Structure 1
Amino acid sequence: MRRVMALIKKDFFVDWRQQNPISGILLYLASTIFATYMAFKGFVSMEVWNALFWIILLFTAINAISKSFIQEERRTHYYFFLCRPAEIIQAKLIYSFLYLTGIAFISLIIYVVLMGNPIINYPLFILNLFLGCLGLSSAFTMVSSIAFRSTNRSIMMAVLGFPVIIPVLILAISNSFKILDSYVFTQIQGNIITLFSVDVIIIALTFVLFPFTWKS
């Protein structure tokens, strides 16, 4: 666990020193939400509010998480002697989840200020948001670990990522809409458990596949 924490700190300090990726993502996030506000004048139905929020979060996640392994290309051989593949992917999964969760909360704050606040059940909405971020960050981390070995990374990200994120998006968007429509936990308990199960499956597949792609 000490090595995992060291790798997480390394990713944090690399992003903090570069700052350009973080600034670009925040600018992209703010400009996208503001453009949405200008297009709809802040008045949208609950269905549109929910759909736009997850669309913005999805494309922000692609920009934020797709770089996970691209910056590691020159450090690959060093990590062969330092850490096991399971430790590397565990650190990446934790950091990507924390990174995307922070972006999601910033996005939610800006979005609520500009587009209104239809959220009634905050704990349930936040729980669904956490599970959605866990699924998206895990899926894009897994796809990024596979794509960074190929020559056409952007194409590989699109081809491999789309079928993986579909079940996460369907469940997260459906749960979110029902929560906004005043559903309580007992009414969507099955969907919440299913979403968590999909997240666990993606994480398990990542741990199974990563050692082979890392050593190839």
Structure 2
Amino acid sequence: MSELSQIKTLLRKEVLLEWRSKYALNGVILYVVSTVFVCYLSFIRIDPVVWNALFWIILLFASINAISKSFAQESKGRQLYYYTIASPRAVILSKIIYNAGLMLGLSIVALVVYSVVFSNEVGDPLFYFLAVVIGSVSFSSVFTMVSAIASRAGNSGTLMAILSFPVIIPLLLLLIRLSKNAMDGLDRSVSYDEIGVLALINLIVVTVSVMLFPFLWKE
């Protein structure tokens, strides 16, 4: 079986497992909605700069909750079974693609709920949505690999936070700057540098994941 076929099969497995349980997805959606509601009760009305930064902070913690158990929830027996039928590159790529789709769905839900609760004018809504899409892919690529590393340790939650910190902070700052440009309605050419850097970071993270995960998978 080719790696492309393996990725498709593993993706279908992830979707079927999520559809059968729904606990993780429903839990994260509840987390997003309740967090937005608590922020509404606390702030009522906020200025655009805080509105933008708060949205990305909510999305960041939602992504941690959604992706942190990507590998931790897999039993030893299931991991051994994957090891015999699929290549490690297919495993990590299927996880990244699935988590990217999951995060994109959660991000759309978060953006809709957040925009309804905290009404705010966005100068370029389409470009702001593009920033959300890029952010979803970025969070999924970083946290998926970190989750794979952390799952090999006993205290995976703490290790995941420590390992992801050096990458996720500059990534978060770039996303806040990119989305702020969209909120202000600036010319899109102003944000090309941020988009280029974000694309480069995603490319590096995915490449490193594909190169290093086979060694981690053998353990």
What is the TM-score when the length of structure 2 is the normalising length? Answer: 0.95
Aligned to 1:54: 56
Length, aligned pairs only:
215
Deviations 1:158-211 (A, max 9, x none): 110111212211110111112111212111111111111111111111111211
More moved, 58-67 vs 130-139: 130-139
Aligned with residue 182 of structure 1, among 180, 185, 190: 185
Aligned to 2:209: 206
CA distance in structure 2 between the partners assigned to 1:146 and 1:46 by the alignment: 37
CA distance in structure 2 between the partners assigned to 1:130 and 1:212 by the alignment: 30
RMSD: 1.0
Please say if residues 131 and 199 of structure 1, whose CA atoms lie closer than 8 Å, have aligned partners that are also in contact: no
- 1:65-214 aligned within 5 A: 65-74=67-76, 75-214=78-217
| SS across alignment from 2:154 | coil
How much does 1:154 deviate? 1.2
Aligned with residue 9 of structure 1, among 7, 12, 16: 12
Deviations 1:73-128 (A, max 9, x none): 33111011110000001100100000000000000000000001322212211111
Aligned-pair identity (%): 39
CA distance in structure 2 between the partners assigned to 1:111 and 1:153 by the alignment: 30
Please say if residues 168 and 199 of structure 1, whose CA atoms lie closer than 8 Å, have aligned partners that are also in contact: no
| SS across alignment from 2:120 | coil
CA distance in structure 1 between the partners assigned to 2:202 and 2:132 by the alignment: 12
Where has structure 1 moved over 4 Å in runs of 4 or more? none
Partner amino acid for 2:58?
I
What is the TM-score when the length of structure 1 is the normalising length? Answer: 0.96
CA distance in structure 2 between the partners assigned to 1:47 and 1:181 by the alignment: 10
CA distance in structure 1 between the partners assigned to 2:59 and 2:48 by the alignment: 17
| SS across alignment from 2:75 | helix
CA distance in structure 1 between the partners assigned to 2:186 and 2:49 by the alignment: 14
CA distance in structure 2 between the partners assigned to 1:45 and 1:192 by the alignment: 25
Partner amino acid for 1:48?
V
How much does 1:45 deviate? 0.3
Q: Are residue 19 (structure 1) and residue 31 (structure 2) matched?
A: no
More moved, 149-158 vs 102-111: 149-158
More moved, 123-132 vs 60-69: 123-132
Partner amino acid for 1:32?
T
CA distance in structure 2 between the partners assigned to 1:120 and 1:182 by the alignment: 4
| SS across alignment from 1:58 | helix
How much does 1:22 deviate? 1.3
CA distance in structure 2 between the partners assigned to 1:122 and 1:63 by the alignment: 27
Q: Any unmatched runs of 5+ in structure 2?
A: none
CA distance in structure 2 between the partners assigned to 1:160 and 1:187 by the alignment: 31
How much does 1:36 deviate? 0.7
